[in-house]
Chain A
Amino acid sequence: MKNELLFTKSHEWILFSDATTAKVGITDHAQHALGDLVYVGLPQAGTAVEKRQSIVELESVKAASEVFSPVTGEISRVNEELTDNPERINESPYESWIVEIGGITDREEMMSTEEYEAFCAEEE
């Protein structure tokens, strides 16, 4: 796991490129729990989002899950590649960003890599 990554309790990772822009994805723990992803329901670019709001629907063969926005801002870009190849998230969860959010004005509490690893160990 990259050190600059921050994590949420609902197993999203967030990578800030500057103070008000960040990419969001799901962690290895999350993709493993879901299993083979078959569908990623991406939002539209330009949508305003609030922290903790559900922004993406994920479906695997045996489960359905949501991605929650860790920040308040606006969706600037979505990773279109995931529409046809959702399995990229399983293959490389930290390279496969799902959305990019800009104009960030607020954020929820986030964990560092060590804190997240401890959190996962505790959950089990």
Chain B
Amino acid sequence: MKLIFEKSSAGHGTDYLPKCDVEPYSFPAELCREHPLVLPETEEAAVSRHYTELARQVYGVNDGFYPLGSCTMKYNPKINEELAGLEGFAEIHPLQPVETVQGCLETMYTAQQYFCEITGMDGMSLQPAAGAQGEFAGLLMIKAYHLSRGDMKRIKIIIPDSAHGTNPASCAMAGFEVVNIKSNAKGCVDMKTLKNLADDTVAGMMLTNPNTVGIFEENILEITQIIHNAGGLLYYDGANLNAIAGVVRPGDMGFDVIHLNLHKTFSAPHGGGGPGAGPVGCKEPLLPFLPAPVVKAASEGFDWAEPSQSVGRIKMFYGHFPVIVKALTYVLTLGAEGIREMSETAVLNANYLKNLLKECFDTAYEGYCMHEFVLTLEKLKKEKGVSALDIAKALLDEHMHPPTMYFPLIVSEALMLEPTETESKTDIEEAAKKLTAVYRKAKEQPEMFHDLPLTTPVCRPDEAVAARNPVLRYFSRIER
């Protein structure tokens, strides 16, 4: 496909603005840009065709099964876009007088309330732009909490070695020392090791439950108690909330701070990599530390409030408002029962798929899974030289988006699958057939697997060359 720059033709373009109806003003020469600025010269029809061509080489969950473990690629309801695009939401300036944005504030307040109810928290800030930002905010809150009590030596955060990379990265950004705790043979937190680690230098622990291998930490009440007894706080990574929403609440399990991923659990679309939203919530003792501002109910209507010891602002304005609209729409649609049904079906679907695959594939852990499960291709790699990557690439020829590869790090040759609740029984059976067929072929004809896929526009782009000699932009023929 040509780049839009390569489709540029001198003199082409479309006029979208009327002529200026006031006297023109020019800056003095010394302030003016001298370097050329090259943008494509393309008329609207060419622009439209270009992006349509690009869209043809993109695969979304609207196209088919997308079992990316840890991403919750569920169906994105069409009502979301329609409502987020309403003039009354889209054409609102964030700094309008408060009485002219009561609709926005009520939307955010209602969302805050509903998210608190679902997670068992006492307050929420909808400001964080993504899960990783929610983590950063939550960790700053934990830090501020301990410092406010004169507790200066709590510099560590305990994180399971199965955790998503953002967890330790967020800790480092917040100025904490990361203590990795090894997962036991069941993929869960090792209780003995935890007891040894939990002392008065520990600010807290970051966990997701179910964990990243799709297993519910059955010792969760003991885990949270151990940390609390040692004076630490518990942080819940909400990435896996789709397994338990409506069934059990992080707050009731002992978590003090949480973040949600609205683009995962709450059906907001992923957009090719963002924007998402990662609201951060907490229990009462941490309310003063929430990022500012939050929405409060005022004597008449709604208004902004600044938590008294806020960790500060982590971005401009109030958060990804259109994403919040989509998430609220979703909660209103599902209601209490629907949320429970969502989670239960996500878990049912995962176990159904896992069951269909058990003949061929090795699962990393025994027993029922939650909303996702991990396969290990270690045996296939050893016996036939076919890796998780090779299997994933083969699936592309089957017009199926591969599962998550090589995560979590604690499983060798991992493939993690999360079907979500919106896949039908038939969809799951189809997927299982494809996966099984690919596996069988790998055993019979392993040699051909290193050159797959065959039917996609490109095959195995050279990532080493891309990283060694990075070419990160296009240069038009007119050199500066």
Report A's interface with B, CB cutoff 8 A: 36-39, 59-62, 86-87
A-B contact pairs, 6 of them (CB 8 A): A38-B467, A39-B468, A60-B464, A61-B464, A61-B467, A86-B468
Q: Within 8 Å CB of B464, what residues of A?
A: 36, 38, 60-61, 87
New A-B pairs, 14, CB < 8 Å, besides A36-B464, A39-B467, A87-B464: A36-B463, A37-B468, A38-B464, A38-B467, A38-B468, A39-B468, A59-B467, A60-B464, A61-B463, A61-B464, A61-B467, A62-B406, A86-B468, A87-B468
**Complex Cα–Cα for A62 and B467 (A):** 10
Closest CB in chain A relative to B413 CB, distance in Å: 13
Report B's interface with A, CB cutoff 8 A: 406, 463-464, 467-468
Closest CB in chain B relative to A46 CB, distance in Å: 27
**Complex Cα–Cα for A122 and B137 (A):** 42
Closest CB in chain A relative to B131 CB, distance in Å: 22
Closest CB in chain B relative to A87 CB, distance in Å: 7
Q: Within 8 Å CB of A62, what residues of B?
A: 406
Q: Kindly report which residue of chain A lies nearest to residue B389, judged by CB atoms.
A: A62
Q: Kindly report which residue of chain B lies nearest to residue A35, judged by CB atoms.
A: B464
**Complex Cα–Cα for A39 and B464 (A):** 10
In order of increasing CB-CB distance, the 6 nearest A-B pairs are A38-B467, A36-B464, A38-B468, A61-B463, A61-B464, A61-B467
Q: Within 8 Å CB of A60, what residues of B?
A: 464
**Complex Cα–Cα for A62 and B406 (A):** 10
Closest CB in chain B relative to A82 CB, distance in Å: 11
Q: Within 8 Å CB of A38, what residues of B?
A: 464, 467-468
**Complex Cα–Cα for A61 and B406 (A):** 13
Q: Within 8 Å CB of B463, what residues of A?
A: 36, 61
Q: Within 8 Å CB of A87, what residues of B?
A: 464, 468
Q: Kindly report which residue of chain B lies nearest to residue A86, judged by CB atoms.
A: B468
Q: Within 8 Å CB of B468, what residues of A?
A: 37-39, 86-87
**Complex Cα–Cα for A110 and B264 (A):** 49
**Complex Cα–Cα for A99 and B406 (A):** 32
Closest CB in chain A relative to B472 CB, distance in Å: 14
Q: Within 8 Å CB of B406, what residues of A?
A: 62
**Complex Cα–Cα for A61 and B468 (A):** 9
Q: Within 8 Å CB of A36, what residues of B?
A: 463-464
**Complex Cα–Cα for A36 and B467 (A):** 10
Closest CB in chain B relative to A89 CB, distance in Å: 12
Closest CB in chain A relative to B385 CB, distance in Å: 15
**Complex Cα–Cα for A37 and B467 (A):** 9
Q: Kindly report which residue of chain A lies nearest to residue B406, judged by CB atoms.
A: A62
Q: Kindly report which residue of chain B lies nearest to residue A61, judged by CB atoms.
A: B463
Q: Within 8 Å CB of A39, what residues of B?
A: 467-468
Closest CB in chain B relative to A41 CB, distance in Å: 13
Q: Within 8 Å CB of B467, what residues of A?
A: 38-39, 59, 61
Q: Within 8 Å CB of A61, what residues of B?
A: 463-464, 467
**Complex Cα–Cα for A59 and B406 (A):** 18
**Complex Cα–Cα for A4 and B467 (A):** 34
Q: Within 8 Å CB of A59, what residues of B?
A: 467
**Complex Cα–Cα for A60 and B467 (A):** 8
Closest CB in chain B relative to A55 CB, distance in Å: 20
Closest CB in chain B relative to A44 CB, distance in Å: 22
Closest CB in chain B relative to A93 CB, distance in Å: 16
Closest CB in chain A relative to B326 CB, distance in Å: 34
**Complex Cα–Cα for A37 and B463 (A):** 11
**Complex Cα–Cα for A61 and B462 (A):** 10
**Complex Cα–Cα for A39 and B470 (A):** 11
Closest CB in chain B relative to A51 CB, distance in Å: 22
Q: Within 8 Å CB of A86, what residues of B?
A: 468
**Complex Cα–Cα for A60 and B463 (A):** 10
Closest CB in chain A relative to B322 CB, distance in Å: 35
Closest CB in chain B relative to A81 CB, distance in Å: 13
Closest CB in chain A relative to B469 CB, distance in Å: 8
Closest CB in chain A relative to B186 CB, distance in Å: 23
**Complex Cα–Cα for A36 and B463 (A):** 9
Q: Kindly report which residue of chain A lies nearest to residue B463, judged by CB atoms.
A: A61
Q: Kindly report which residue of chain B lies nearest to residue A85, judged by CB atoms.
A: B468
**Complex Cα–Cα for A86 and B467 (A):** 11
**Complex Cα–Cα for A38 and B470 (A):** 10
**Complex Cα–Cα for A36 and B406 (A):** 17
**Complex Cα–Cα for A61 and B466 (A):** 9
**Complex Cα–Cα for A87 and B462 (A):** 14
**Complex Cα–Cα for A12 and B463 (A):** 26
Q: Kindly report which residue of chain A lies nearest to residue B470, judged by CB atoms.
A: A38
**Complex Cα–Cα for A36 and B460 (A):** 15
Q: Kindly report which residue of chain A lies nearest to residue B467, judged by CB atoms.
A: A38
Closest CB in chain B relative to A58 CB, distance in Å: 12
Query: Max chain B CB contacts within 10 Å: which of A38, A60, A62, A86?
Result: A38
**Complex Cα–Cα for A45 and B468 (A):** 23
Closest CB in chain A relative to B235 CB, distance in Å: 25
**Complex Cα–Cα for A44 and B56 (A):** 48
Query: Max chain B CB contacts within 10 Å: which of A36, A37, A86, A87?
Result: A36
